[in-house]
Amino acid sequence: MSKPSFLANQTKKVCLICEGFEEYEYILQLLSLQIWSDVYDFYPINAECCGNIAPIYHMEYSKDKYDIIIAICDTDKTPSKGFFQIREKIDDIFGIKDASDQVIIFTNPCTMQVILMHFGTVKLTTQSKKTNTSEIRRLTGLATTADYKARKDQRTFIFSQITKANYLIMKNNISSLSHNFLDNPSTNFLKFLNLFEASNISWIESINQIIDPDDK
């Protein structure tokens, strides 16, 4: 979809650093639906594991090519050491305590919690793919005798079912979840979805003033 000429100078570059293949391919599917505002150009990156998020964040930040960089990652039913390390390292990049709160999209216990809420209501209690297999089958119709292991074919089957219609169902379902990453389940995804859908770009400058006030 082409952007209106009067919006051309407002286009903002948003980098989305995704923890792994599930997050990355899920974001790609959402982008394919063209449900977010044309005033943003989104640049998803697959970090391939949580340990790579902070180094990639630092590398992309140093390039100074995006208007904002956002990380997308899991926690666990009590936030894992890895999640806290991501927060601490992003805070260190900006030299500001809790800067990470502004630029991390999280889901507790895992992103599959949000993905499944396109298809119905669920409360996952663990990141364990084996434990979550029964709920994944129930809600997506994944037909296999094997456990869900996030194989390419399994991911493709699930993400191919995500549509504009059930995107709205997901938004309604996650609206009832806590926004506190200490709670299980919880996510702050809805806040960012609403921002991505709207053409008001002022939130980017507001966040940058908090996390990087000396960058002019």
pLDDT of residue 214: 77
pTM given for the model: 0.93
pLDDT of residue 5: 40
Decide: 60 and 18 in contact? Cβ < 8 Å: no
End-to-end CA distance of the chain: 32
Closest CA to 31 of 115, 181, 40: 40
State the burial class of residue 129 (Cβ atoms within 10 Å of its Cβ: 0-12, 13-18, 19+).
middle
| pLDDT one digit per residue (tens) for the chain, 216 residues | 334 444 445 799 999 999 999 999 999 999 999 999 999 999 999 999 999 999 999 999 999 999 999 999 999 766 678 999 999 999 999 999 999 999 999 999 999 999 999 999 999 999 999 999 999 999 999 986 689 999 999 999 999 999 999 999 999 999 999 999 999 999 999 999 999 999 999 999 999 999 988 764
Does an H or E element contain 74, and which? Answer: strand 68-74
Closest CA to 19 of 54, 63, 43: 54
d(CA 200, CA 74): 28
Decide: 47 and 20 in contact? Cβ < 8 Å: yes
Amino acid letter, residue 126: T
